[in-house]
Structure 1
Amino acid sequence: MKGLLVGRSAELSRLVRVVRSAAEGTAGVALVGGDAGIGKTRLVSELAADARARGFHVLAGQCAELGDALPYLPLADALRGAEPAVREAAAAHPMLGRLLPGRESADSAGLTQQRLFGSLLGLLADVQPVLFVIEDLHWADRSTRDLLVFLSRMVQTERVCVVGTYRTDDLHRRHPLRPVLAEMRRLPTVTHVELGPLSVGDMSDYVATMGEVGAQELGLIVSRADGNPFYAEELFAAMAEGDALPDELAGLLMSRVEVLPEAGQRVLRAAAVAGRRVEDALLREVSGLPLTEFEEAVREIVSRGLLRVDGYGYTFRHALLQEAVYTDLLPGERTRLHAAFARLLTTPAELAHHHLAGHDLAGAFTASVEAGRQAALLGAPAEAHDHYDRALGLWERVDGAAELAGESREELAFRSAVMAAGAGDNHHAISRLRALPPTSEVLERLAYYLYEADDPAAAIAAAERAVQAAHDPPQLARALATQARTLLWSPRHREIEGLTARALDVARACGARDAEAGALLTLATHAEYQGDTDRAHELVKTVVAEASGDLAMDLRARFHHARIHYEGGLLDHAAEVADEGIRMAFETGLKWSTYGTDLRFLRFLIHYVAGEWDQAETVAAGFPARVGTVPEAILSSFALFVEVGRGLPTVESRLGWLRPFWSDELAAYMSRGLAAEHALWNGDPRAALDHVNAVMERLVEGESGNVRMAAVGLWALAELGSTDGADELRRRARAALDAGPTGEGGHLGPEGRAWGLRVEAEWRRVHGRLDVDLWRQAVETFDYGFAYETARARWRLAEALLAAGEREAAQAEWDLARETAGKLRAAPLENALHEFGRRARFGGGQGTGGLTARESEVLRLVAEGLTNRGIAERLFITQKTVSVHVSNILAKLEVSTRTEAAAAARRLGLFD
């Protein structure tokens, strides 16, 4: 499969430099090594295409697995496949002519090496420039190896480039190519390129070029292929046909194992049962070989590249190799080896795996329970949940399971549910809890997770039942605190004061710190939305100051502490507290829990609002672009704030991955709202309005999200010149503002008030009225620290002022907006401001040639002669982003080449 060349730009650039030097009269040799399937041929094909474009003749030959039976096979292959002009030139050299089609039967006795090499040099001199590619050097015959060494030493001033490829995984310690490579690498004319595995991101991009693939299937292919493009292709094809490990791939992998002596195969089979990695002492014990024989076998395995030395043990060179060897084991052999490992291991997680594979169900059950407990103590909730679930799956098949586990099945299932929630899988936790007997403890957790899963009615009902079923003070305190929490956004929010007071009394009397913390946090949120932010701060600070004994609760406290600062416009304080919470989430294994992810959302937003877009983009780089779960989709959606604001080329790809998750309300609100803005910046207001309408259809009347969506929808209507639906958008926004956070009015922070003002100003713009006062109020209200929205509001204020005849004031606002947009590198806004300034004939910007601040930076580096890659490295941005900037520069300066762009910039005085 030949698709896009993904993830090899650096390696290709190195090879192109060798070809470029050859074109200028400095011959060179390049050696390209890598495992089978890693992409050597694909890379060299791309190089050949580049060389042809530079006017090179390309000769390409392959070695075959025939030993020394056919000398000079790749040279003959290259000449036979050469273009007519090269074959005619070769025919003029008798020694080479004998390698051409129709001359094979000629007497080869005179085909001496010295004469042949001289003839080849003559041919290369006659037809230069030449790129001579020899593939699969690991199979090269002795004469071909001699030819390669000869060329590497003799071609110097000729316009010739020689490239050889070889498989590193085939070079065992006695391989005849090893000394040849060692000799050649010492030569200054030889460039060595080693192709390693593709990164996870590049592999994902590569698999995506093969066709449609779901997020889960993509993740499976990427993890199993382990960076090898060929393996990914085979797995993609097999997955489409429902196979596990394709026969062709399994055969390729096993062919390298079968050449080992019996002792080596025995060791490798034992290593495959251990997994991807195994310790030396453990492998020696399980293999059962004498020490000397074991060490010789391992030395042979390592020399053939099947295992790599890794600290005190060994790692399979590739995950699929381990899988192929393991799959090839006989059933009884597999069981015996697993049992042997189980006898020697002490780690519960490893014991569980080997006991289960060795059909020791009781051993697997006991080890799984213990492994879950250890993972929970280490702050690894996802792993704890997996271990507990494995134990629950074995419960009915093990005699005396309760005694072995030391607890009932219900207790184990409850802990599994709590761990699932800690790993961010609230839906699984809810499902598990609903299947359990409805004790107060179960109902309280069910209510807690239902609330986080945005099912308030079910959460309230479960919380009330938890309170009624409580039989001891600590559980009653927790149930009361959770019940108060479920009422926060309901019409019954007035009950919160009484419920939290009761929860606090009970919790303090019995020492239930977690319940006390939960009640205080709910009370703080309630106070905040009643407008008493001072009380809210004090309550949250009380919780943060004293550990509750519940890590998830402590994380929740830090989130709300940071959020209250953020929504009050205190961005520095919010950042400090959010950073502390994120550290805690990572240290305790709760990074994917509800508040672990919420804290990362919030930290990104703080950077975004404060105008720290470089930092925001760095944070967003850690958000998954290829998503497979709802939490990942929500996290990924946040990255769109900066990507859309900067007009980055990653937007379309990210939206493509997010589209399947638009059934989730929050993921849709985030990503479709920003997709609407992206469409507006790209001149498609109709698509923007479609996104807005789709989101607002799912938003509840009075919900705060209506306000921002209405503002974007009104922007789209203004661009369309239509008033259809404008009044309804305004009504929905006003209803949400009137409802406030509680649904019955309440305190609004500066951002909420600012968006409300923008809705009113946009509604008037739709109706043809540019309201100076409203846009000025929007600017002043956003100016609590929201750099980008302040600049966007200034843009509209400048338009309104110009329409009112206040030209000087309009240009002042325009200048301030341009300054902020330039600092943020908000290219779409910069372009919109440039267009407005051009129409308004504002001064102070003509010398820019219409370029944004970032485009001016890029143009300076273009004028210095830097390539896109060099510019990307200098400015710490991607080559794709540089390419977009260069295209924009050429269009704005109305030129077609980089040289013309640099000249135009100097004419305009951009570098003065």
Structure 2
Amino acid sequence: MAGAGGPPSRSGLRGREAELGELEALIASVARTGSSALALVQGEPGIGKTTLLAEAVTEAAAAGFSVGVGKADELHHIVPLSSLAACVLHGDRPLLSGDAFADLARHHDQRIWLVERLAEMIEARAGGMPVLIGLDDVQWADPLSRFALQHLPVRLRTSPVLWLLTSRREPAGPAEEIVAAAAGHLPAVTVSLGPLSGAAIAQLAGDALGAAVGERVRDLLDGAGGNPFLAVEMLAGLRTADAPDGHVPPGLVVGVRGRLRSLRPGTLRFLQMGAVLGRTFGFHDAAALCGRPAAELIEALEEAVRAGLLDDDGDHLVFRHDLLRQAVYVDIPPSARKALHREAARGLVAAGHQPVDAVPHILRGALPGDEEAVLLLRRAADDVLPVTPGLAADLMTRALELVPSARPLRFAVGEQAVCCLTRAGRNGDALSMGDRLLAGRPPVDAFGRLQAALGGALWNMDLAGELRRRAEAALALGGAAPDVDARLRGLRALAMSRDHDLRAAREAGEAALRAATATGDREAHVLALSALGEIAQNAGEGSLALRRFAALSAIDPAYLPEEIVAHLYVDDFASGERLLRQATDTGATRQAMLLWAQGQHDLGLGRLDDADADFVTMERLEEEVGVCVQQVNGRVLRSRIALLRGDRDDAREHLVAARERLAAKPNPGNTAAVRFLEAVHAEADEDFGLAVDRIRQVQRQGPFMRWRLLRDWVDSAIRMALRGAEHELAVDLAAQARAHAERNPAVPTAAGVAAQADGLVNNDPLTLEHAVGLLGASPRPLVRAAAYADLGWALLAAGRERRAVAALTHARDLFAASGAHAPAAGARHALDDAGAGSRTGAAVERPVRGWGALTPSEKKIARLVAQGHTNRSAADLLVVSPHTVNTHLTSVFRKLSVNSRVQLANLVMGLPDG
């Protein structure tokens, strides 16, 4: 306990024993269980959040935790990852080294990748000791730190990591979003701090004054309203008062503002400049804003530090509490504040700071017509676009507001704003803004640029027809710069890839590629190759599509997933796996699309459990970044996987989800996929009339859907047609399969499926046997299994039981090895009917809980994690994405009813073969 001359001790903790006890219980739980937890301390400014956090951090450090604590700042809340950087770089044992964080910063354009790398580094530290990460004033956290905090606690829920956050109740949003994301995955508690009791406030007075507290002091402290910070400031005023009769200095009863009145004018002015710059600021920056040499302000700095208003950590000056900064800041006249913020922005840039550091001041100080401010906002938007496109879109929207409508600059700023809105997934806003700008009658060149900029939004909104109309209108008008003309041609070809006339689309794509090559414009080149790849794929020309997508990914590695899938379509799974490994090693962009490619790869190789995990992870990653591209197709494939596994309830749930997602994105491809899935479900329900109706709907979606959708499933469609007594439809489907094989003569699957289709239509065992032979070179086990099953049924019908048993046994084994329990059971029943069931064995059902419930991949991952591997090292060994490992691990924990890696290790080591 401090005496009369010392500072109040544990001032914020008076009356907070229960709240501290709650945090201490979480600290003990994380250390004991080895699993994570999250706590949010909420309350008004000055109520004691920071002090409670500091005390909890001290307790955790004493308990052996590795601790990282930071504080977000209202005026520094835009710089990407700045808030979380403070947590992981500071302390006696920083969670990350400066070099490691710098390496992360170089990859900050990949949000998902960055969060995963952060998780790996924290996970590695947590493997040796529990970790506490604390962030004060999370309401001011920058967007990227908020994104990370919404996902890291869940990602690290099986490691001993305690997240301690503090937040004001206003502004609401960031803290609640973080807690909501964690809820249901790990213990997440909210500790609300209200006003201190009168008794606690009296204890504070005793701490500060070291003597009995008189009635006059108690009356004074009533003005603090139970706020410990205000009470402490008032008590500090009492201790430093010069009046010998003990009178209270005027103004203290109304808050901390009275503390400032005894300062010299120069010191107050220095503090005001600092308050404009933010709670944390540089001495030289404040001196520049004062318009005086730094040497002349040393006395002002010393007085501010002696008065307990500022702390000096050697690198920056920090207001001891944000209430102090606000008290200084609000005394600056509003008009002066605007001017000072504008000067602060100019000074920061002149001193070499990044444009994004000046943005908060631009937003508070710029006036319409300020083109220098517009330039800074544009530069800052470019800097943050890759990592926080939503912020970039907001900055560009503000920049556009600052440009008067009469100025030509408005169209250039508008074009950039449209692009940022599109990158942020705000396609409707981008289209509305673009149309408002177009209504302003821009010059011809600006008209073309705006229409080209709107292409991405129109494509994302599945408005291919409108995209083509606009591109052709801009091309017809003429006058566009060569690079813009080439982009418009590429957009026109991309739109035509969804038309029925693919020959005309190809001609348009070739013309666009020539224009792009002539101009050397990278964006035009990407658009042209993307269009030509889509056109070739829609025409069923696998080799040509592969060449186009390989050329595209060479220009822009973000399109590597398209190249991987193109390899799979020509049965080149070895190259697909090589590229997947390369993408995993380099941290390539578009993580969700890479998971889509991984899922296609695993599904093609008959790894149903892995494919399902891939598609689960892909959907989660798409939702995390707010760019939902493959949600419909992912659910369609998961429903088919569930049907193959024999889980009809799960399959129906995925069908419902696919229909819901189709309503939001009803493009022809998605529509055809859902209609085909409905056909598959109708067949399972033995409603062959409905199945045939849905197959016909798929055919009417356009000829290219026949290649994209029925490429590997045409045999299933033919069986539905034959069971529905629609022989003519079956013949048409078989003709499609033959045409596809002719287009892809080097693809074993295509040739084998074409023969299988003919054998089904003609009920010809010899042709089906030929199909099985052709498919021997196919890498797709489920396709081979289906062909063996068709051959077995045909041979049984022909009375050739011995050869039928051999074919059906092959089918059953291939299906069973892939986890396709439903068709495996069908083959087994056929073998029973043939009298061969006892010779071929019976399937064993997988339980839903316990070690036996785990899939082979889950067992591998469980053993690796039990041996001490991180998600990253396990992923490297298994040649999968760390995101997929995380999905498998989530399933492992659920099936084994464990909550931490420690519990998992104990369980695995206790197994007979552990």
* TM-score normalised to structure 2 length: 0.52
Distance 1:348 1:421 in 2: 22
Q: Which amino acid aligns with 2:676?
A: A
Distance in structure 2 (CA, Å) of the matches to 1:542 and 1:856: 37
* 1:778-834 deviation digits (Å, cap 9, x = unpaired): 99869844567878999999999999896665555444444444xxxx9x9899999
Residue deviations 1:892-911, cap 9 Å, x none? xxxxx99xx999x99xxx75
2:566 is matched with: 564
Query: Of 729, 735, 753, which residue of structure 1 is paired with 2:711?
Result: 753
Q: Does residue 1:221 correspond to 2:183, yes or no?
A: no
Offset, 1:755: 1.9
| Residue matched to 2:151 | 201
Which of 379, 396, 404 lines up with 1:388 in the alignment? 396
CA distance in 1, matches of 2:452, 2:860: 62
**Residue in 2 aligned with 1:342?**
345
Amino acid in the other structure paired with 1:727: G
1:573 is matched with which residue? 575
CA deviation profile, 1:508-538 (whole Å, cap 9, x unmatched): 6666675466445534543454454444555
Deviations 1:518-570 (A, max 9, x none): 4455345434544544445555566666x6xxxxxx46876654443343332
- Shift, 1:727, TM fit: 2.4
In 1, Cα distance between equivalents of 2:866 and 2:640 = 34
What is the alpha-carbon distance in structure 1 between the residues aligned to residue 822 and residue 460 of structure 2? 36
SS of the residue corresponding to residue 493 of structure 2 reads helix
Give 1:240-389 correspondences, 5 Å limit.
Answer: 273-275=276-278, 278-279=281-282, 281-282=284-285, 290-291=297-298, 294=301, 312-313=315-316, 332=334, 335=338, 338=341, 341-342=344-345, 344-346=347-349, 347-358=354-365, 365-373=371-379, 375-376=381-382, 380=386, 382=389, 385-389=393-397
* Cα displacement (A) at 1:393: 1.1
Alpha-carbon distance between aligned partners in 2 of 1:688 and 1:280, rounded to the nearest angstrom? 59
**Separation (CA, whole Å) in 2 of partners of 1:838 and 1:556:** 49
1:438-517 to structure 2, matched below 5 A, reads 439-447=447-455, 449-471=457-479, 474=482, 475-500=484-509, 503=512, 515=524
Q: Hey, what's the Cα distance between the residues in 2 that align with 1:477 and 1:518?
A: 9
**Letter of the structure 2 residue corresponding to residue 526 of structure 1:** I
Cα 1:251–1:862 change in 2 (3 A) is same
Q: Which amino acid aligns with 2:448?
A: S
Alpha-carbon distance between aligned partners in 2 of 1:274 and 1:686, rounded to the nearest angstrom = 57
Residues 256 and 563 (structure 1 numbering): CA distance in 2 closer, same or farther, change over 3 Å? farther
In 2, distance between residues paired with 1:511 and 1:780? 45
Q: Distance in 1 between matches of 2:816 and 2:844?
A: 13
Q: 1:484 to 1:613 in 2, by over 3 A?
A: same
Shift of 1:434: 1.6
The residue identity in structure 2 corresponding to 1:410 is F
Alignment map for 1:398-437 (pairs within 5 Å): 402=407, 407-437=408-438
Distance 1:609 1:535, change over 3 A: closer
Between 433-442 and 387-396, the greater mean CA deviation after superposition:
433-442
Distance of 2:327 and 2:188 partners within structure 1: 19
Task: Tell me the distance in 1 between the aligned counterparts of 2:689 and 2:271.
Answer: 73
The equivalent of 2:21 in structure 1 is 41
Is contact 2:635–2:654 with CA below 8 Å preserved after alignment?
no
User: Using the alignment, how far apart are the partners of 1:337 and 1:887 within structure 2?
Assistant: 59
Paired residue for 2:199? none
Kept in 2, the 8 Å contact 1:481–1:503? The answer is: yes
Structure 1 residue aligned with 2:43: none
Q: In 2 relative to 1, CA 863–835 (structure 1 residues): closer, same or farther, beyond 3 Å? A: farther
Counterpart residue number, 1:681: 647
Question: What SS does the corresponding residue of 1:345 show, helix, strand or coil?
Answer: helix
Please tell me the residue identity of whatever aligns with 2:176. Answer: I
Matches within 5 A, 1:774-793: 784-786=778-780
* 1:533 to 1:735, Cα distance in 2 relative to 1, 3 A: same
Q: Deviations over 1:688-734 (max 9, x none)?
A: 6655666778997974753565346534763xxx434x423333335
Task: Measure how far apart 1:465 and its partner are.
Answer: 0.9
CA contact (8 A) 1:497 1:523 kept: yes
Structure 1 residue 683 displacement after superposition:
3.6
Deviates more, 1:617-626 or 1:876-885: 617-626
1:14-29 maps to which residues of 2 (within 5 A)?
Answer: none
CA apart distance, 1:455: 0.8
Give me the whole-angstrom Cα distance separating, in 2, the residues matched to 1:451 and 1:39.
53
SS at match of 1:353: helix
Measure the CA separation in 2 of the matches of 1:790 and 1:252.
74
Pair 1:738–1:269, CA change in 2 (3 A): same
C-alpha displacement of 1:886: 2.9
Deviation at 1:671, TM superposition (A): 4.0
CA drift at 1:490: 1.3
Q: Distance in 2 between matches of 1:870 and 1:684?
A: 32
Pick the aligned partner of 1:742 from 704, 708, 713.
704
Contact 2:635–2:657 (Cα < 8 Å) also in 1: no
Structure 1 residues 217 and 515 mapped into 2: Cα distance closer, same or farther (>3 Å)?
Answer: same
- Taking the aligned partners of 2:602 and 2:425, their CA distance within structure 1 comes to 24
Q: TM-score, normalised by structure 1?
A: 0.52
Query: Within 2, Cα distance between the matches of 1:269 and 1:572?
Result: 65
Contact 1:868–1:882, Cα closer than 8 Å, also in 2: no
Distance change >3 Å, CA 862–CA 706, structure 1 → 2: closer
In the superposition, relative to structure 1, how do residues 204 and 255 fare at CA in structure 2: closer, same or farther (>3 Å)?
A: farther
- Partner of 2:462, secondary structure, is coil
CA gap of 1:281–1:444, structure 2 versus 1, over 3 A, is closer
Does residue 672 of structure 2 align to residue 706 of structure 1? yes
1:733 aligns with 2:733: no
The aligned amino acid for 1:885 is: K
Paired residues of 2:580 and 2:598 also in contact (CA < 8 A): yes
Looking at structure 1, the residues matched to 913 and 701 of structure 2 have their Cα atoms a distance apart, in angstroms, of 54
Secondary structure class of the residue paired with 2:134: coil
- Cα RMSD over matched residues? 7.0
Q: What is the Cα deviation at residue 454 of structure 1?
A: 0.8
Distance, in Å, in 2 between the alignment partners of 1:716 and 1:321 is: 66
Decide whether the 8 Å contact of 1:38 with 1:230 is kept in 2: no
CA distance in 1, matches of 2:861, 2:672: 44
Q: 2:891 aligns with which of 881, 889, 904?
A: 881
Find the aligned partners of 1:789 and 1:321 in 2 and give their Cα distance. 69
**Corresponding residue number in structure 2 for 1:88:** none
Per-residue CA deviations over 1:226-253 (Å, capped at 9, x if unaligned) read: 9999996769xxxxxxxxxxx9999577
* Count of residue pairs the alignment pairs up: 653
Summarize deviations over 1:135-163 as a string: whole Å, max 9, x none: 989999xxxx9xx9xxx9xxxxxxxxx99
Q: Which runs of 5+ in 1 are unaligned?
A: 1-32, 52-134, 153-161, 171-181, 183-190, 207-215, 236-246, 548-553, 635-665, 889-896
Q: 1:674 to 1:855 in 2, by over 3 A?
A: closer
Distance in 2 separating the partners of 1:886 and 1:732: 41
Q: Which is further off, 278-287 or 481-490?
A: 278-287
CA contact (8 A) 1:520 1:540 kept: yes
The answer to whether the 8 A contact 1:733-1:759 is kept is yes
Residues 370-428 of structure 1, C-alpha deviations (whole Å, 9 max, x = no match):
3414653787493654433212112249xxx84xxxx5312221232134334554433
